[in-house]
């Protein structure tokens, strides 16, 4: 099993927290830079790390899009807070 084996981590989890996801992305990015400095860009370790990083980036983008869609649909916590804030503002103006 390779140190950079993509199967060692489950990147398909939907319940991963956004902060954990961003930390993982940054960690993989740093690892990739270090390994790429020591090996050619076509080296297996570099390619595997790059593929893992791509998977996490896609997961983060999908989570961001889901969050945006839920806000637009009015289902997210931000949408509820925005409505409450708007109502308070309207009440204050009256």
For residue range 22-67, list pLDDT tens digits in order. Answer: 999 999 999 999 999 999 999 999 999 999 999 999 999 999 999 8
pLDDT of 18 reads: 85
Alpha-carbon span 93 to 84, nearest angstrom: 14
pLDDT of 74 reads: 83
Alpha-carbon span 28 to 50, nearest angstrom: 8
The structural domains of the chain, with segments of one domain joined by +, span 6-93
Residue 13 C-alpha from the chain's centroid: 11
In this structure, how many other beta carbons lie within 10 angstroms of the beta carbon of residue 56?
20
Provide, rounded to the nearest whole percent, the portion of the chain with pLDDT above 90: 51
Alpha-carbon span 90 to 84, nearest angstrom: 10
Alpha-carbon span 61 to 21, nearest angstrom: 11
């Amino acid at each position: 099993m390779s140190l950079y084996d993509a199967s060692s981590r489950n990147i398909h989890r939907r319940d991963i927290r956004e902060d954990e996801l961003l930390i993982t992305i940054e960690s993989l990015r740093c690892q990739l830079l270090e390994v790429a400095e020591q090996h050619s860009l076509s080296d297996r370790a570099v390619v595997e790390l790059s593929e893992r990083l791509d998977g996490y980036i896609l997961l983060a983008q999908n989570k961001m899009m889901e969050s945006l869609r839920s806000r637009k649909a009015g289902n997210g916590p931000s949408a509820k807070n925005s409505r409450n804030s708007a109502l308070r503002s309207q009440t204050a103006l009256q």
